[in-house]
Amino acid sequence: MTSPTASASTPASASISASASDAASGTAPASVPADVAGSRAASAFAAAAAAGPAHESDPLPEGLIDVVVIGGGAAGLNGALMLARSRRSVVVIDSGDPRNAPADGIHGLLGNEGTPPAEFLARGREEVRHYGGVIISGAVAEARPAGRSADGDLRFTVDLVDGRRLAARRVLVATGLRDELPAVPGLAEHWGHGVVHCPYCHGWEVRDQAIGVIATRPASFHQVLMFRQLSDDIIVFVADGVEVDQASRERCAALGVRIVETGLEEVVGDGAGGISGVRLVGGEVVPRSVLVVATVMGPRLDGVDGLSLATEEVPGGMGEKISSGMAGATEVPGVWVAGNATDPGAQVGAAAAGGALAGAHINGMLVVADADRAVAAAREHAAA
Binding site for ligand FAD (CB under 6 A): 70-76, 93-100, 102-103, 106-109, 139-140, 174-176, 179, 192, 201, 300, 302-303, 339-340, 346-349, 351
Answer left, alpha or beta for residue 177, where phi above 0 means left and psi between -120 and 50 means alpha: beta
Strands 140-148 and 154-160: antiparallel
Alpha helices by DSSP H, the chain: 20-24, 36-50, 74-85, 117-130, 199-202, 220-228, 246-255, 348-383
CA distance 350 to 356: 10
Q: Write down the least CB distance from residue 224 to ligand FAD, Å.
A: 19
Q: Write down the least CB distance from residue 335 to ligand FAD, Å.
A: 14
Q: What is the DSSP string of 102-148?
A: T-SS--S-TT-TT--HHHHHHHHHHHHHHTT-EEEES-EEEEEEEEE
Residue 64's closest CA among 129, 150, 125?
Answer: 150
Q: Write down the least CB distance from residue 106 to ligand FAD, Å.
A: 5
CA distance 38 to 8: 15
Nearer to ligand FAD, 76 or 263 (CB): 76
Q: Write down the least CB distance from residue 315 to ligand FAD, Å.
A: 19
Nearer to ligand FAD, 102 or 145 (CB): 102
Whether the CB-CB separation of 139 and 158 falls below 8 Å is answered with no
Q: Write down the least CB distance from residue 188 to ligand FAD, Å.
A: 12
Whether the CB-CB separation of 91 and 138 falls below 8 Å is answered with no
Q: How many CB atoms lie within 10 A of CB 326?
A: 9
Nearer to ligand FAD, 72 or 319 (CB): 72
**DSSP symbol at 329:** B
Residue 103's closest CA among 127, 119, 123?
Answer: 119
Give kind and range of the element (H or E) at residue 258.
strand 258-260
Q: Write down the least CB distance from residue 367 to ligand FAD, Å.
A: 25
Q: Write down the least CB distance from residue 142 to ligand FAD, Å.
A: 9
Nearer to ligand FAD, 49 or 238 (CB): 49
Q: Write down the least CB distance from residue 283 to ligand FAD, Å.
A: 30
The number of C-alpha atoms within 13 Å of 145 and in the hemisphere containing its C-beta is: 14
Nearer to ligand FAD, 1 or 286 (CB): 1
Nearer to ligand FAD, 82 or 257 (CB): 82
Nearer to ligand FAD, 15 or 137 (CB): 137
Residue 93's closest CA among 130, 51, 125?
Answer: 125
Q: Write down the least CB distance from residue 375 to ligand FAD, Å.
A: 36
Nearer to ligand FAD, 27 or 78 (CB): 78
Nearer to ligand FAD, 57 or 262 (CB): 57
